[in-house]
Amino acid sequence: MGICTSCGAAVCRDCVRVGHNSVPHSTGFSSADLAFTEIRQLACLPCATALSARHAREYGFAPPTLPPVETQ
């Protein structure tokens, strides 16, 4: 179980989407000293879909991993 970092909803391990987000941070005293760090982000399906559609450069979410289907 986890918490969506966008809306705060609880998400189970089957519904959670794991992605990354590039976060800017200062490495010095001027605005030219700016670096980016990728952080892991958990999101529910609606938030992951919206963030990927609206902010494709900043956010990336892996497609859901579904268990293999048993055939007889």
pLDDT tens track for 39-57: 888 999 888 888 888 877 7
Can you give the pTM of this predicted structure? Answer: 0.62
Report residue 71's pLDDT band, with 50, 70 and 90 as the boundaries: low
List all residues 6 or more positions away from 13 whose beta carbon is below 8 Å from its beta carbon: 1, 2
Structure tokens at 70: 């048993």
Asked whether 34 and 24 are in contact (CB, 8 A), the reply is: yes
Question: Cα–Cα distance between 10 and 22 in angstroms, integer?
Answer: 23
